[in-house]
Amino acid sequence: MNKESSQHNDAPTNNKRGCLFLMLGTIAVIVIVYAILIYIFSSTKTPQHEANERQTIESCRERAGDSSASLIERKTASEACEEMEKQFQKKYGHAP
């Protein structure tokens, strides 16, 4: 009976450790996936990619200036355009 009692008390501790390792493993996988994505997106600096990104920013600016869109849509688009421009400048070293 004593042996059963000690095994029963260890079960919650093992479950907590298993849950902790599962959470840490999940976080590690997420970090690795993000690192790979950042590497892929930051390493593509061909003239074609630069032109595509510049065109995307121009399209974004058009959406931000669209008078038929609501104020919230224009503001959101404008903020997205600013972020894309910042990332473009970081990546290519000049404004789009």
Cα gap 62→77, rounded to integer Å:
9
Q: Domain-by-domain residue ranges, the chain?
A: 1-43, 46-96
What pLDDT band is residue 12 in, cutting at 50, 70 and 90?
low
Q: Are 60 and 81 in contact (CB under 8 A)?
A: yes
In degrees and rounded to multiples of 5, residue 71 shows phi and psi of -60, -40
Instruction: Give residue 78's identity as a one-letter amino acid code.
Output: S
Chain position carrying tokens 């009692």: 5
pLDDT tens for 30-56 read 999 988 887 877 776 788 888 999 999
Cα gap 22→84, rounded to integer Å:
35
| Residue 42 Cα distances to 3, 17, 39, 49, 69, angstroms | 58, 37, 5, 11, 32
For residues 1 and 62, which has the higher predicted lDDT (pLDDT)? Answer: 62
